[in-house]
Structure 1
């Protein structure tokens, strides 16, 4: 069977289009087959994991599933306004002398009769832990990231040591580190600050040196050509390029650290997490829902502020570099 050739000895355009179409359909069939295999594998693994967890008496998940909402049905305040009273430490009409309705015990008096409600004060403690931990983590990660970047530090031994150190810093979750430090430093915010700072150094250090490795090397080559030393190359060749991304990652990490500080409070790290654990453990519904409401509003506020700052700072930095 002969094939008609076009000018120049090539097959006609229609034949090329048909071949490309057939090739695309073959690739599409292969991709769909791999997708089905992957989804099937994930579903099978999930089914086996749930079956094993249930059979190994890990809480009898499926047996307890019908009673999932019983806790929320019975864990209710006496009335909705009781949540507001608990949030602002206001007197309760249900007060019977028990600690459950004593909302004034945790007040922090600023001067005279002016006070800061307990949960607002504990929320400030949590935010303070997150901010301090972020500042410490960003500072150390900034310094170490340049020694871990292959395009900045040529010594493989230095890069290897710094990268392994960063991996060690982020190898354990914050709550595990805090649990160990509580036994050494006692219960309080110091253990939480150290735990969150350690994990922040490891996480941001990796993100930072990856940003540095993707930076444009032309400025570095120019500085090296005119005799610039290592610090001058870093200061003028890389920092102006990577700083916008560094700021973006630092602000994002602040949001994460607020959540982490809340969780760490449950193991003795202080702040809102500790009072939340005590409240739910003592069956204080109004106090528990008040803390949940405050946490929800705080996280929304921090996310909004962080997002706004990230857009403005990164945008201005990018404009300055580009302009």
Structure 2
């Protein structure tokens, strides 16, 4: 038997084995997708049966909710946004736009919804700052390559997992019973969750740094704090800031939801407006919320590119 024949047989056997393995993989993939679809359909059926109003039965009425959002006069949307009196005011809360003004000086005032939006953004900024301040030292302690003590790393990691294990609404409900409802409870809840979330992202960054600078400082007798300050922190700070800016975007949305459950800000007013069926007010709030989130997203994305560098985004695209 020639070497060419042996090589041909080996190639054929390898090709047959590859085809069998591919067929088996496709079979397992098909079974997995099929089981997933069955589970999803069963879950949706159970949820539909458990719901008082069946989804399929109420599907034709899906646009009924939006019908009352259409104002009789579209100019009432910007009037509600800037607290300008409406000619349709009948003395009800639906059109009492000027009553929400926040006087500043003389005839100058801040529209109510802008002041509420400012409160929401402030909650997001303060809670993110709290998360950043505590997450940075925790992340260095939790990093395997920077902290030699396994027990200390374990305690810090489990603590951060505990902080991010509970939804912000649950934490806010706990602190609302202590400090009453309002922005303070929202700041504490979002801040604690941000510590856990940012801490995990940060220590994963720390575990991938170049250790040569740290080893050099260790060789000349630098202590742990000096090695972190001069070897690790300069490498990771741009990525830290990038993730922090991303967290600000997330916290703006979360603080809006927190407002709907008593955390203050624009979310509370949006919930009341929707529940009362005030179309012009609801559209004004949605417009302001969408615009603010868009501006925050664009600004933070621009700033992240400046901090991390354009090349990092091109490589991940």
Asked if 1:212 corresponds to 2:212, the answer is: no
- Does the C-alpha gap of structure 1 residues 58 and 11 become closer, same or farther in structure 2, counting only changes over 3 Å? farther
Q: Distance in 2 between matches of 1:220 and 1:16?
A: 51
Pairwise CA distance, 1:149: 1.0
Q: Distance in 2 between matches of 1:58 and 1:245?
A: 48
Deviation digits for residues 83-125 of structure 1 (CA, Å, limit 9, x no counterpart)? 1111111111111111111101111111111111111111111
1:115 match: secondary structure:
strand
- Does the C-alpha gap of structure 1 residues 144 and 94 become closer, same or farther in structure 2, counting only changes over 3 Å? same
- Count of residue correspondences: 312
Q: Tell me what 1:194 maps to.
A: 188
Counterparts in 2 of 1:1-323, with a 5 A limit?
A: 2=1, 4-5=2-3, 11-12=6-7, 21-57=15-51, 59-315=53-309
- Which ranges in structure 1 are unaligned for 5 or more consecutive residues? 319-323
Pairwise CA distance, 1:132: 0.7
Pairwise CA distance, 1:65: 2.2
Deviation digits for residues 158-198 of structure 1 (CA, Å, limit 9, x no counterpart)? 11111111011101111111122222111211111111100
- Does the C-alpha gap of structure 1 residues 76 and 316 become closer, same or farther in structure 2, counting only changes over 3 Å? closer
Pairwise CA distance, 1:39: 1.7
1:300 match: secondary structure:
helix
- What TM-score does the superposition give when structure 1 sets the normalisation length? 0.91
Deviation digits for residues 33-85 of structure 1 (CA, Å, limit 9, x no counterpart)? 23222221221111111111122235433332222221112332112221111
Q: Distance in 2 between matches of 1:282 and 1:156?
A: 55
Q: Distance in 2 between matches of 1:314 and 1:201?
A: 22
Instruction: Assess if the C-alpha contact under 8 Å between 2:124 and 2:255 holds in 1.
Output: yes
Q: Distance in 2 between matches of 1:196 and 1:118?
A: 24
- What TM-score does the superposition give when structure 2 sets the normalisation length? 0.92
Pairwise CA distance, 1:18: 5.1
- Does the C-alpha gap of structure 1 residues 316 and 63 become closer, same or farther in structure 2, counting only changes over 3 Å? closer
2:42 match: secondary structure:
helix
Pairwise CA distance, 1:11: 4.8
- Does the C-alpha gap of structure 1 residues 120 and 220 become closer, same or farther in structure 2, counting only changes over 3 Å? same
Q: Distance in 1 between matches of 2:291 and 2:227?
A: 44
Q: CA RMSD in A?
A: 2.0
Q: Tell me what 1:321 maps to.
A: none
Pairwise CA distance, 1:24: 4.3
Instruction: Assess if the C-alpha contact under 8 Å between 2:68 and 2:279 holds in 1.
Output: no
Instruction: Assess if the C-alpha contact under 8 Å between 1:276 and 1:291 holds in 2.
Output: yes
Instruction: Assess if the C-alpha contact under 8 Å between 2:128 and 2:244 holds in 1.
Output: yes
1:139 match: secondary structure:
helix
Instruction: Assess if the C-alpha contact under 8 Å between 1:187 and 1:268 holds in 2.
Output: yes
